Structure 1
């Protein structure tokens, strides 16, 4: 027991700052969403009208929760529960992989298994660590909702509902760590399962049976194939069902049990899914560090590009729907106006969705630069730098590929916008608006690219947590700030909110020159400081 408690304390200490950001961020999102919803949809009539519109448009249902009535608490959870659950799921799956496959990959697991801890106790400590993290998330999220004046019962179901989905994906992350040979492969598998589950739950809700007054939906059978669907069917502040949350927890613990069995039977460092055999000879194009980075990251860039394509498709497909909603609900029209200046409603829809595109592009860029830190920790960077490749050229390869990733995601978004217009016979003038906003978001995403590169140079160990935290903060401020009623100066801290955009009669440059100046200055500082930086392995 002493060995187990030591392992658990080590995990809690190692993850304390990362978990603090995940947990507090989830609780804060719940709190500010309630504040924003109570201000923007303060009347029962407004909430009923928005629910009716959403239920009548299945595409909206793909990305929202399960409608359970127009009361304040239930309405708020319809808007935000899937995102609370998604934060818990990301936290849990990353935690699971970090303490299983990544430890094996970096040689730490071999040292631990040589002690009396053996092979199973570290995995059990990781399971308990994940349980405690989700318990803390559930309690703080529930307290955040209770502090707004919402009911205790519904708040507890909401908090523990998000955490229950997190437990499901703790199991997914643990199993991914047993299946895949690398931590990157395990994280990728867990993320794809997460996104697929999210879409299955949304599709199941969209195909569900609405009530006659269009205020509630009974999910279709498809929703019950997804942990997100189980969590949503707890219906906080409406039915307060607990048994779907038990199903989530049982699913996660069952996967954890399977992972323990696999851990006991396989060789350390091995995986159930074997690595693909590499080529005997490198292709002709693989002639430098930049080409090598592209080769290693092209799969993840393709995944972000698919997300960009879908975002662009939704932007023009839903433009007409949002225009109808705005004409019925002045609160929605005010939110669109605050985001898109003097643009029309259809242009405002494009602006909103293309800000999401900017976040996706920023994620692709940050992930690419974070790969530099992973290569440094794993020792592969040392082999590259032993060649005539200099430190600045080596880092420049990641930055260049990161910018290419931004451009690819933006281009995919514009392509998706064209497909959306063609599919619905819409207004082709929106294509010009989409191109302008996409170009502006390329500039905004490039800020995250160079900032992450500078963090990598100055504080290597913070590269991954700080890079992703900055993107998360920009998403909250830029996308949700107008909904939450944040002051303009706070919203405009997010680069995506001050990128060039469209207005009713032209283009608004907004903070373009400031963004370009920041990109040039930060990139220059990163290059200058990289010249004298030594390798910084993990430790």
Structure 2
């Protein structure tokens, strides 16, 4: 019975597992190959790492520098991003095959058979392990194909798979605690992003060692499964003890999930669903107010992150300029990050602006995903039955997502400019216009991503959520890594953020921003037409 359930799950999810595996392998293969061709000399790699060692924002988003070998810099560039993707893959997989099945009634039908309640959950656990073994294998093979040493590549793959298994167990536990499947997905997303942020805090507050281009992370990184991937130190120490810790945590969390499942009611979480008010407030009288209420949590969460990152960048501008101004090779490294013609300070502003733009894009993309969530949960039916047209309902959610992203960019721009001027009122840490303009002009790129996900919802609603995450991940990867990895220009042009005006530079071009704005409007208009022509999903 257990093997039959496992085969059923693997057959049902085979396409998603293949897509995840190929995506992970492609990102690693591209990164490893690009590092070999872009940074063949040790001096070039040291220059990039020295920029990162004194730039906490880069450490938060990239990882812990572990040395200047090709393997070390590849791990620095991509390891945490890969671990983030594996965490999302693992948690989404187990929630979809556990708590979401309870919401849809499938789990009740299975529980009435000889399988009972435990076997389907165990089958889901085994599927998660199989998925991460596959991810570990393709990751190791991709790095080997990229020309990196076999031993370190295998160790990196093992560490990645072990971290994924930890998230499998944690995701199963969250699925037992959360009140609904949708909230379980939200909690799991917060869990993975929290692990990423915790690791980032540990890296940003760590102790740098510029002489050998390494960093000792803070204690916060030790608490994160994503931090454990770095602690293995592939191509350097090859210490598998953190990977074993991840496996132990995953096993304990899975055991706790099975224990909780035995004592809770089917369809109910340990945390009860919060009761709403007896009467709605006036703000919920229209679809825009409802859309704002539904997206409030994601807008606030990502918005706080964007504002904090902007303020951190402005506060650290003088420190970065002072420590890197005379370091050989750093200007060239910064030009790779920010584009040709950039110096240390204006290049740093452009880099921070792009990072903030990615956080604002998360607001927009998650807002577009809300369209699909409302459709499958029945919320769309309730709104449409009240006399609201499909286009009006559709545009209300898209508009709130766009306004939320715009508000986050404006506040982040103000925070960055205020922090920079507070440190150096004379403008030597960057002018108000440079900081504010660079961050706010990320909005056209954000709107393009929002429009793409909205169009996918109109054409292929089932694919809107996975495509949304894929689009966001691809835009973040290309926007932050394409130039640094010296990828072909046509690949760089696929990233909307590569067309954002670099206002901090001497002669910024705004043509790309206007074209992206027009493209976003056109795509959204096409999505409106297509939404009117298709049926609401059952």
TM-score normalized with structure 2 length = 0.92
Q: Once the two structures are superposed, what CA deviation does each residue of 1:23-48 show, in whole Å capped at 9, x if it has no partner?
A: 22222222222233333432223334
1:313 Cα deviation from its structure 2 partner:
2.4
Tell me whether 1:435 sits opposite 2:442 in the alignment: no
Question: Residue 235 of structure 1 aligns with which residue?
Answer: 233
Would you say the 8 A contact 1:342–1:503 is kept in 2? no
Would you say the 8 A contact 1:233–1:244 is kept in 2? yes
1:148 to 131, 143, 146: 146
Question: Residue 481 of structure 1 aligns with which residue?
Answer: 482
1:269 to 244, 249, 267: 267
Would you say the 8 A contact 2:339–2:483 is kept in 1? no
Relative to 1, partners in 2 of residues 1:58 and 1:490: Cα closer, same or farther, differing over 3 Å?
closer
1:398 Cα deviation from its structure 2 partner:
0.9
Relative to 1, partners in 2 of residues 1:335 and 1:385: Cα closer, same or farther, differing over 3 Å?
same
Question: Residue 244 of structure 2 aligns with which residue?
Answer: 246
1:186 to 184, 187, 190: 184
Relative to 1, partners in 2 of residues 1:29 and 1:335: Cα closer, same or farther, differing over 3 Å?
farther
Distance 2:24 2:319 in 1: 29
Relative to 1, partners in 2 of residues 1:60 and 1:423: Cα closer, same or farther, differing over 3 Å?
farther
Relative to 1, partners in 2 of residues 1:16 and 1:504: Cα closer, same or farther, differing over 3 Å?
same
1:211 Cα deviation from its structure 2 partner:
6.0
- Mean CA deviation greater in 181-190 or 260-269: 181-190
Question: Residue 69 of structure 1 aligns with which residue?
Answer: 67
Relative to 1, partners in 2 of residues 1:13 and 1:339: Cα closer, same or farther, differing over 3 Å?
farther
Q: Could you tell me which runs of 5 or more consecutive residues in structure 1 were left unpaired when the two chains were aligned.
A: none
- Mean CA deviation greater in 518-527 or 421-430: 421-430
Question: Residue 350 of structure 1 aligns with which residue?
Answer: 349
Would you say the 8 A contact 1:40–1:331 is kept in 2? no
Distance 1:269 1:86 in 2: 29
Relative to 1, partners in 2 of residues 1:414 and 1:57: Cα closer, same or farther, differing over 3 Å?
closer
Distance 2:215 2:23 in 1: 29
Question: Residue 133 of structure 1 aligns with which residue?
Answer: 131
Distance 1:33 1:75 in 2: 10
Question: Residue 107 of structure 1 aligns with which residue?
Answer: 105
Would you say the 8 A contact 2:334–2:343 is kept in 1? no
Where do residues 84-123 of structure 1 align in structure 2 (5 Å cutoff)?
84-123=82-121
Relative to 1, partners in 2 of residues 1:161 and 1:481: Cα closer, same or farther, differing over 3 Å?
same
Would you say the 8 A contact 1:315–1:350 is kept in 2? yes
| Number of aligned residues | 535
1:343 Cα deviation from its structure 2 partner:
4.1
Tell me whether 1:372 sits opposite 2:376 in the alignment: no
Distance 1:12 1:327 in 2: 56
1:85 Cα deviation from its structure 2 partner:
1.3
Where do residues 342-421 of structure 1 align in structure 2 (5 Å cutoff)?
342-421=341-420
Relative to 1, partners in 2 of residues 1:404 and 1:207: Cα closer, same or farther, differing over 3 Å?
closer
> Equivalent residue of 2:511, what SS?
coil
- Mean CA deviation greater in 294-303 or 202-211: 202-211
1:176 Cα deviation from its structure 2 partner:
1.1
Distance 2:385 2:55 in 1: 58
Tell me whether 1:524 sits opposite 2:525 in the alignment: yes
Distance 1:217 1:337 in 2: 22
Would you say the 8 A contact 2:305–2:359 is kept in 1? yes
> Equivalent residue of 2:533, what SS?
coil
Distance 2:236 2:209 in 1: 14
Question: Residue 26 of structure 1 aligns with which residue?
Answer: 24
Tell me whether 1:9 sits opposite 2:7 in the alignment: yes
1:256 Cα deviation from its structure 2 partner:
0.8
1:128 Cα deviation from its structure 2 partner:
0.8
1:45 to 43, 64, 81: 43
Q: Could you say what the CA RMSD is over the residues aligned between the two structures, in angstroms? A: 2.5
Distance 2:177 2:337 in 1: 47
> Equivalent residue of 1:461, what SS?
helix
Relative to 1, partners in 2 of residues 1:301 and 1:30: Cα closer, same or farther, differing over 3 Å?
same
1:516 Cα deviation from its structure 2 partner:
2.5
Q: Once the two structures are superposed, what CA deviation does each residue of 1:410-456 show, in whole Å capped at 9, x if it has no partner?
A: 12321331343155336364321233233321111111212222211
Question: Residue 174 of structure 1 aligns with which residue?
Answer: 172
Distance 2:59 2:333 in 1: 22
Question: Residue 493 of structure 2 aligns with which residue?
Answer: 492
- Mean CA deviation greater in 443-452 or 433-442: 433-442
Relative to 1, partners in 2 of residues 1:381 and 1:327: Cα closer, same or farther, differing over 3 Å?
same
TM-score normalized with structure 1 length = 0.92
Would you say the 8 A contact 2:51–2:330 is kept in 1? no
Distance 2:50 2:279 in 1: 60
Distance 2:295 2:504 in 1: 36
Distance 1:222 1:334 in 2: 28
Tell me whether 1:509 sits opposite 2:489 in the alignment: no
Q: Once the two structures are superposed, what CA deviation does each residue of 1:249-275 show, in whole Å capped at 9, x if it has no partner?
A: 110111011101111211011111122
Question: Residue 80 of structure 1 aligns with which residue?
Answer: 78
Question: Residue 255 of structure 1 aligns with which residue?
Answer: 253
Distance 2:395 2:159 in 1: 44
